[in-house]
Structure 1
Amino acid sequence: MALPQGPLEHRYRGEHPVRTLAYLFRDDRLRLLVAFLAFVVKHSPVWLLPLVTANIIDIVVEHRPIDQLGGNTLVLLIVLMLNYPTHLLYVRCMHGSVRRVGTGLRSALCRRMQELSIGYHSRVSASALQTKVIRDVENIEVSAQQSADTGLAALITLTGGLAVIAFRVPTALPAFIVIVPAAAWLIRRLRTRLRSKNEQYRRQVEQLSTRVGEMTSLIPVTRAHGLERTAIGRVERSLSQVLRAGIRLDLLNGHFGALAWILLNAIGIGFLAGAALISYYAWLPITAGDVVMLSTFFTTLTGSMTMLMGLAPIITKGLESVRSAGEVLQAPDLEENTGKAQVDEVKGGLRFEGVTHRYDGDGPAAVVDFDLSVPPGETVALVGASGAGKSTVLNLLIGFIRPSSGRILLDGADMSTLDLRSYRRFLSVVPQESVLFEGTIRENVGYGMPDVDTATVRAALRDANALEFVERLPEGLETIVGERGARLSGGQRQRIAIARALIRDPRILVLDEATSALDTRSEALVQEAMDRLMRGRTVFVVAHRLSTVRNADRIVVMEHGRISEVGPHAELLRRGGAYSRLQAGQIT
């Protein structure tokens, strides 16, 4: 199935959600028209049946020609037979359109997330974005389907029924226009009061769920202190409250349900009796068949009006989900690459010229007047206390954020003029927490490289000190690593991440606390793999343990966003400055 290729976000700026939905369904207008016509045919028995019933009663009562009975019956049978194919056609066109729109909207959201800056992703939680892609789009789909199914059924029944009444018994039309909405409103009011009570009960059940969750999480503490009876007592008190609330709710359901049923049927009986009296005394030209037809239509049309009134919360929920998705699709915080120069080759030379960056336009600077020139192939370590600005420098280097002032040059070219997507093809990052997806080891190492061969994957794993443990696994390269690599140890995950970096042969390498979370043996294996990875490349290393950066060509010591010292390990120790203090603090 073809998905929309262009972004949808330009339609979301200041648009009302209804207009947004109209735009989303623009390519399915013909299908929606076919779906509407199919629904009219498939639903016609609902308003045709009372008319045919009236005709048949009049044929019997007035002793009309018997062939009219066969004609009326045949019409109804034909319409009933058409319900099956037209219903399938409606589902295919309407529900298929809704599904296509949902898929296209999810695709647009995912594309937009890839375009939004890292700053945006640092402010908005991943779970919130996941909810927008899954739950909000699902709400839109459900709301559209229910609105179409229920709304079309109600509208066509109302339109068809009123048209038949206007044609057959026009004098009864004013009564329907007044009584039907009034009866529907009364029933709706009763159901609204009932819904508020259901909402209260739902909250109490949620409170019980919280209590059970607390109990399960506290089981080790409960057992250790012999408090099982106390824990059970807390839950049982909540269970008793839910039991009492549930019984009260059942009684209220019965109370309001019975009242609504009695009210609707009482009004219907009154309507039937009134129509019968009018026919009996010939106050209006109404036949016996018309009396039955009008009585049936009263119940049918009142139900349709009630369904229409009940659509409001469903539609509101769907439109709110459209707004929620629009928050992502119209977010202005984009990484702009359109029209910028493509990067076809990287030697690895980098120069920071007076770079300052503020995450908040008026807030304090995370990096201030950062000046550093790095020739190709040099290894630079960034050290300093938490909040010194190390991660900000890495984010500037990767292009996740832009300098507030100053500039960064890549092989002499201002990075603000470059397409950063093409630049990143020559860059690899090994973070502190390696991120693996739920796939095979082969797929994780060759991520984004579908044509890579097995020999290349094995070579990357060998250089990353990972091939030995991979070959011991039952499935080898085809072993599923689990969600976020859960089936592997921390050291194994990190070596897979290094293999992923190696296989790309990057010119610039970023190592962000790549060994800080590992035990001593794993750190030694990972450090050996990183030493191979760093050869012949421009490398930026951030490390908390100073022992891991002593072999760097230069060490940049940062304090409060500024460069405090620059030099090799031995030279910085001889100076007795900030680096020496950091070293002494770790030894202590």
Structure 2
Amino acid sequence: MDKTLEKSLGQWLKQQKSSCGIFLKLTIFTGALNGVAIVVQAYLLAHILHGVIMLELPMASFRSQFIGLIALIIVRAGLAYARERLSFEAGKRLRSDIREAVLNKLTDLGPAFIKGKPAGAWASIVLEQVEDLHDFYAKYLPQMMLAGFIPLIILVSVFPLNWAAGLILFATAPLIPMFMILVGMGAADANRKNFSALSRLSGHFMDRLKGLSTLKLFHRGETEVNKIETASEDFRQRTMSVLRMAFLSSAVLEFFAALSIAVLAVYFGFSYLDHLNFGHYGAGITLFTGLFILILAPEFFQPLRDLGTHYHAKAQAIGAAEALVELLEHPNPLKQVDGKFSEQTAQQHEVSLDNIAISATELEVLTLEGTALLGPISFEVQAGQKVAVVGPSGAGKTSLLNALLGFLPYKGSLKINGVELSVLDKKQWREHLAWLGQDPQLFHGSIRENVCLANPELTDAQVMALLEQANIAEFVNQHPQGLDTVISDQAAGVSVGQAQRIALARAIAQPASLFLLDEPTASLDSHSEKLVSASLKQAMTAQTCVMVTHRLDQLQSMDNILVIEAGRIVQQGDYALLSTQTGLFKNMQQQDDDGLSLYIDEQEPTKTDEQTQREDV
């Protein structure tokens, strides 16, 4: 990974620690108190052993010291428990805030952006990569502070007793951080590649799982199994490389710590044998001095060893942060102003949306990258009007709906009741919309939960009234569980027509002023199509409606029809006017008529000679 990128990601991670609140500071504080308790405990233990062994004092004379030792053990256990609880709470709050920011960002960017990656890749970011930030804040950041504070306390305690031992500790301590830095150079990059492999595997698996029936029908099952096996093997190898670094780091840190403690033990051993005579300020080296320093030596290196153990959490967090930062800092263009995209979040306006009129002037709908999808076009939709948008596939019809929904940026002007859509409060705007697409998304849960998605306060009687209005109440009443009937993932358990009508009930459950319909009767049989069309007509009696459709035979009741070809409006008017004009609309009518005639001819059975004779009689 590029060092500049790694440094910027590290800075971003540290900037987020405010989400941990006071819990991160309390974690450091309890760790520091534990460090002080370690020094006091070592002092009491060395004092007791020196008095009993060297001064031959009775054990009873050290009663207060024993009580102090027991109290310190209890205190240290309590501090360790409090530190773990506080650190977990700090990490939990951070994860909650980051996950909320990610979900809010995905909501702002909208479906047009989300469709750029498989669902499994987004699941990996929201779940796995946010989760992997936890140890950085719960373990690594507090330990980094304690790795400097606790050894400093021990050095302050050791140097007044023996400067040679203090120098040994001071000289060997940097070996551990130096090695951690060397290991960390490759750890962050290994973790980043590991997350990329996991994202690819998740996305690949979910896409193939959703299309399993297609793969089996085209005899591609075995091939896709091999591809998933290859992706899994790649992920396994990258995971093992990360683990190898972690184990190597721990082993070398333990080696340096053990080596330093051994040097101290050798120094005191030779000093007690009178082979060394320095470091004691002329007062000699007592048993108390040797025991006190040797007891503290492992504790001196323990914070550094713990930091090395948790150092992989930093590399893991940096690897996870790359995709998170890329997502959270992705520009969210709603309108292009002076040649630049701007969110204009500070200019949100309140406007009455009880009746909605739409005015577009030189409107050009763009992708999130700035590529034109539609336009420039100009049109008017009066309050209460029903407007249809027709044209060949790829003409830009759905892009217009996405712009009205606030999911795509645009140039030119798109005004709602005289106010630019880009400066409207999007929450207020969407509360007045009813949207129904050709492939409605029903979520895992009961029919009641799906209908009440926008309005959880609806009573069962109100839900049944909505289902009745959508011509689906009979299906619900026939089912033993009624409104508690469970709809599985991907609307499993209901037909396409039933799913469309449940989605229609959900759409009309909120008091909408504008209906946005994207092929609402596509993929439906004629019976379901008639039911959905009748329900829509009843639901939007006085509301404004913009509907994208290919079914020209349903447009007689529309007030205006916009005919779009190659991103431009080539015709507009009512059904009667466009039917008499030469142009794209009439050509589409003729194609529909030819298709209908062919369908009727294919469906009509061939008469036998006997049937013909009977008809003649």
Q: Where does 1:93-172 land on structure 2 (aligned, <5 Å)?
A: 93-116=86-109, 120-121=113-114, 129-147=122-140, 150-151=143-144, 154-155=147-148, 157-172=150-165
Are 1:275 and 2:281 matched, yes or no?
A: no
Partner of 1:474: 480
3-state SS of 1:474 partner:
coil
3-state SS of 2:480 partner:
coil
Confirm or deny: 8 A CA contact 2:192 2:320 kept in the other structure: no
- Kindly provide the amino acid, as one letter, of the partner of residue 398 in structure 1: L
Q: TM-score, normalised by structure 2?
A: 0.74
- Kindly provide the amino acid, as one letter, of the partner of residue 20 in structure 1: Q
Confirm or deny: 8 A CA contact 2:119 2:206 kept in the other structure: no
Partner of 1:359: 367
Are 1:557 and 2:563 matched, yes or no?
A: yes
Q: Where does 1:292-371 land on structure 2 (aligned, <5 Å)?
A: 292-319=291-318, 321=320, 324-333=323-332, 336=344, 338-359=346-367, 363=371, 365-371=372-378
Q: TM-score, normalised by structure 1?
A: 0.77
Confirm or deny: 8 A CA contact 1:44 1:79 kept in the other structure: no
Distance 2:118 2:226 in 1: 37
- Kindly provide the amino acid, as one letter, of the partner of residue 564 in structure 2: M
Distance 1:164 1:117 in 2: 59
Offset at residue 398 of structure 1 (A) = 3.4
3-state SS of 1:167 partner:
coil
Deviations 1:46-74 (A, max 9, x none): xx337624650453034356555444433
Offset at residue 308 of structure 1 (A) = 2.8
Distance 2:10 2:186 in 1: 34
Describe the shift of the 1:184–1:82 C-alpha distance in structure 2 as closer, same or farther (beyond 3 A). Answer: same
**Which piece of structure 1 moves more, 139-148 or 276-285?**
276-285
- Kindly provide the amino acid, as one letter, of the partner of residue 381 in structure 2: V
3-state SS of 1:78 partner:
helix
Describe the shift of the 1:190–1:372 C-alpha distance in structure 2 as closer, same or farther (beyond 3 A). Answer: closer
Describe the shift of the 1:337–1:354 C-alpha distance in structure 2 as closer, same or farther (beyond 3 A). Answer: same
Are 1:20 and 2:15 matched, yes or no?
A: yes
Partner of 1:517: 523
Q: Where does 1:375-394 land on structure 2 (aligned, <5 Å)?
A: 375-394=382-401
**Which piece of structure 1 moves more, 433-442 or 304-313?**
304-313
Describe the shift of the 1:97–1:386 C-alpha distance in structure 2 as closer, same or farther (beyond 3 A). Answer: same
Structure 1 unaligned regions, length at least 5 = 1-12
Partner of 2:429: 423
Are 1:86 and 2:79 matched, yes or no?
A: yes
Offset at residue 499 of structure 1 (A) = 0.9
Partner of 1:372: 379
Are 1:451 and 2:457 matched, yes or no?
A: yes
Offset at residue 178 of structure 1 (A) = 1.7
Distance 2:234 2:419 in 1: 70
3-state SS of 1:552 partner:
coil
- Kindly provide the amino acid, as one letter, of the partner of residue 75 in structure 2: L
Distance 1:385 1:474 in 2: 44
Alignment RMSD (CA, Å)? 5.4
Offset at residue 560 of structure 1 (A) = 1.1
Deviations 1:355-400 (A, max 9, x none): 233437874x433342323333332221111221212222333344
Confirm or deny: 8 A CA contact 2:366 2:408 kept in the other structure: no
Confirm or deny: 8 A CA contact 2:250 2:309 kept in the other structure: no
Are 1:56 and 2:62 matched, yes or no?
A: no
- Kindly provide the amino acid, as one letter, of the partner of residue 563 in structure 2: V
Confirm or deny: 8 A CA contact 1:366 1:560 kept in the other structure: no
Confirm or deny: 8 A CA contact 2:472 2:502 kept in the other structure: yes
Partner of 2:336: none
Describe the shift of the 1:278–1:207 C-alpha distance in structure 2 as closer, same or farther (beyond 3 A). Answer: farther
Are 1:397 and 2:404 matched, yes or no?
A: yes
3-state SS of 1:432 partner:
coil
Deviations 1:178-236 (A, max 9, x none): 23444786799899999999999999999999999999999999999999999999999
Confirm or deny: 8 A CA contact 1:441 1:479 kept in the other structure: yes
Offset at residue 493 of structure 1 (A) = 1.7
Describe the shift of the 1:500–1:123 C-alpha distance in structure 2 as closer, same or farther (beyond 3 A). Answer: same
Offset at residue 498 of structure 1 (A) = 0.8
Distance 1:475 1:489 in 2: 17
Structure 2 unaligned regions, length at least 5 = 1-7, 279-284, 334-342, 595-617
Describe the shift of the 1:207–1:351 C-alpha distance in structure 2 as closer, same or farther (beyond 3 A). Answer: closer
Offset at residue 151 of structure 1 (A) = 4.3
- Kindly provide the amino acid, as one letter, of the partner of residue 101 in structure 1: L
